[in-house]
Amino acid sequence: MQRKLIEYADIIYPEKLRELKNPPSRLYTCGNIKLLNKKGISIVGSRSNTQYGEKMCIEFTKNLTEYNLIIISGLAIGIDSIAHKTCLKYSGKTIAVLPCGLNNIYPKQNIELAKKIIKDGGLLITEYDDNIEADSKKFLERNRIVAGLGMGTLVVEGGYRSGTSVTAKITQELNKPVFCIPSSIENKKGFITNKLIKSGANLVTNVEDILNYFDNIKFKRKRKNLIKKEETVIIPQELKQIYKCLKNEELDINQISRKCKISIQETSYKLLLLQMEDLVEELPGQRFKIKEK
């Protein structure tokens, strides 16, 4: 896919990013740049989401996609990845805003997801030169672009001192709506959403709550029963060895370590990543198997 550099002075530079206090001076893109002028909702949340957060993210993303809205997120693990993957699964278009250069995708386990986003007509976008690496400062800088590209921001989950709150704050500074899914007060990952609701953010329990906010826009639904694409499992390159090892059987961590010829420590770490990607599940007795979809 051809890459394109967009300068601030270019006519195709997205007007919504010009509204930022410190707009990017240039944008490095790969994929469908027409999406920059489409209506979309930014979706943000915890990197270590709960099952409730995953369920809500899937439900809201699916329904927003059904109304032809672009899904904008930051390609991080957790809620970001779930939003991107769900959008693609239901034949939608998604924009991934990167905290790094296009040659240095972060996190590494989402390289395959990034490729699929481009392949399926989506867009990768960043303000950093191709070989720049991600760091904590760039995560925060990335958040302003996520907030700037959306008509509003949907906050799914977020813990105390979460970067999610930064995206919400920038969204509010841009006079755009922040939508929050309420959470149990016992859920630590619901801290930010509940706090934002208390301070005036929009509580939403279904996608219609979001659509109805924009009462001057008529959203057209794709069709009554959205047919999902045949799902392609995306396996990060560095995790393929263990995934293949579990393809046809249940194994314990020692068996996996021996078969793959890697240390127990590395095996444990990679199994954790596979579980976070919802690809593998742990059974009693530290046994593992491929998760059925």
Tell me the domains of the chain and their CATH numbers.
Answer: 14-30+38-213 (3.40.50.450), 237-290 (1.10.10.10)
pTM of the model: 0.79
The stretch 103-107 carries a mean pLDDT of 94
Token pair of 173 as six digits = 């500074």
Most confident of 25-39, 43-57, 213-227, 256-270: 25-39
Residue 284 preceded by cis peptide, ω within 30: no
Mean pLDDT of the chain, nearest integer: 90
Q: Helix 164-173 vs helix 136-149: angle between axes, to the nearest 10 degrees?
A: 40
What's phi and psi for 79, nearest 5 deg?
-60, -40
Strand-pair category, 40-44 with 70-73: parallel
- Token pair listed for 45: 């949340």
- What's the CA gap between 290 and 274, in Å, rounded? 9
Interatomic CA distance for residues 19 and 145, integer angstroms: 10
The percent of residues in the chain predicted with pLDDT above 90, rounded, is 65
